[in-house]
Amino acid sequence: MIKQINHVAILVEDLDASLSFWRDALGIPVGKTEVNPGENVNIAFLPLGDSEIELLEPISADSALGKFLAKRGQGMHHICVEVDDIDATMQRLAEHGVQMINDAPKSREDGTRYAFVHPKSTSGVLVELYELPKA
């Protein structure tokens, strides 16, 4: 079951320059920053209500996000929906012929599991499925 929009991710060339708009001009505080070495990206999380804006800055030009940035430029990267059971959600999507980028969920250090739905199945929008760790 889909619970809510967890975050909207925006791909940026320069995290600090982007924060001058989101944090400084709009006044949205940065909740946390982190480096995700598995995805080769620096991330700033800006909480907004029950969701977040996630700014993604590729660490290297030859990473997946670096190549995406070079090809398509800065801007909206993906929308992330929080699910209660990622395995069941992926199974349901497979039954509906939805094309996935990931065959199985990946895991972050905090236990969050995630997978991406290919934009070919979503009218051109990259969609991330997110299952937060059980408390």
What's the pLDDT tens digit per position in 38-59?
889 999 999 999 999 999 999 9
Domain that holds residue 49: 2-131
Q: How many domains does the chain have?
A: 1
Quote the pLDDT of residue 86: 98
Quote the pLDDT of residue 11: 97
Q: How far apart are CA 66 and CA 54, in angstroms?
A: 16
| 38 φ, ψ (degrees, to nearest 5) | -65, -35
With a pLDDT cut of 70, the percent of the chain lying above it is 100
Q: How far apart are CA 92 and CA 126, in angstroms?
A: 18
Quote the pLDDT of residue 7: 97
Domain harbouring 22, CATH code: 3.10.180.10
- Alpha carbon 32 to its chain centroid, in Å, reads 15
Confidence of residue 23 (pLDDT cuts 50, 70, 90): very high
pTM of the model: 0.89
Pull the structure tokens for residue 85. 């059971």
Pull the structure tokens for residue 43. 């991330």
Closest to 60 in 3D by CA, of 39, 86, 29: 39
Confidence of residue 6 (pLDDT cuts 50, 70, 90): very high
Quote the pLDDT of residue 109: 85
pLDDT greater than 90 at residue 35 = yes
Q: What is the mean pLDDT of the chain?
A: 95
